[in-house]
Amino acid sequence: MTMTVSNLVAALDRFPAYHAIDVFADDLAELRQPIPPSMHPLDAQGRGFLVTHQDRNFKLDIFPERGVARLSKHGPATAAGAGIGELTGSLVAAAIDTASKQKGAGLLGGALLGLLVGAALGGVAGDARRVFALMYEPAVGQWRAYDGGLLRWMKDQLAVNAG
């Protein structure tokens, strides 16, 4: 099972107090195929992409060392003109590989998890951020709050220390 950028946008729209959503990179369908036309690299390394969805711009950041992809509101107006190179694919592949290893065989039982990221709690860069754990239910096409037994592990795995 996978989710799409459209599903991530739906979470950000449903919970407008949060500015980003973190998911395991291997759960995002767009990262498991050739880079779609709606994604434009922002750097030659393939760490950031401008994502256009329904005439709105978002930024997709790849964290290969954590196996995480973060979709943020208020993406850049245009791409920086970086070409899609071999590094782009290798960083995405590394993120997918890391995510698969972190989740292990059957740990999540196919569950699609996300972590909404909000404002810093202390108002200082690097402070803890407000987060909200979600689970995507493909059968109904909706996100719901997640408070299951993997909550602490999930927050440890998905929370990246970035803007």
| Total domains present in the chain | 1
Within a domain: 24: yes
Q: What length does the chain have?
A: 163
HSE on the CB side for 117, CA within 13 Å?
A: 21
**pLDDT value for 105:** 67
HSE on the CB side for 157, CA within 13 Å?
A: 23
Within a domain: 87: yes
Q: What is the pLDDT along the chain (163 residues), one digit of tens a residue?
A: 789 999 999 999 999 999 999 999 999 999 988 878 888 888 877 889 999 999 899 999 999 999 999 999 977 766 655 555 444 578 888 999 999 888 876 666 778 899 999 877 665 555 556 889 999 988 888 999 999 888 898 888 898 875 4
Residue 126 CA to residue 123 CA, distance in Å, equals 9
Range of the domain at 77: 5-158
pTM for this prediction: 0.86
**pLDDT value for 86:** 45
Within a domain: 117: yes
**pLDDT value for 123:** 58
Within a domain: 84: yes
Within a domain: 12: yes
Is 66 in a helix, a strand, or coil? Answer: coil
**pLDDT value for 87:** 47
> What is the DSSP pairing of strand 48-53 with strand 112-120?
unpaired
Alpha carbon 135 to chain centroid distance? Answer: 13
Burial of 39 (0-12, 13-18, 19+ CB in 10 A): buried
> What is the DSSP pairing of strand 129-137 with strand 142-145?
antiparallel
User: Rounded to whole angstroms, what are the CA distances from 6 to 9, 10, 45, 123, 129?
Assistant: 5, 6, 24, 30, 24
Within a domain: 58: yes
**pLDDT value for 56:** 92
Is 93 in a helix, a strand, or coil? Answer: helix
Within a domain: 163: no
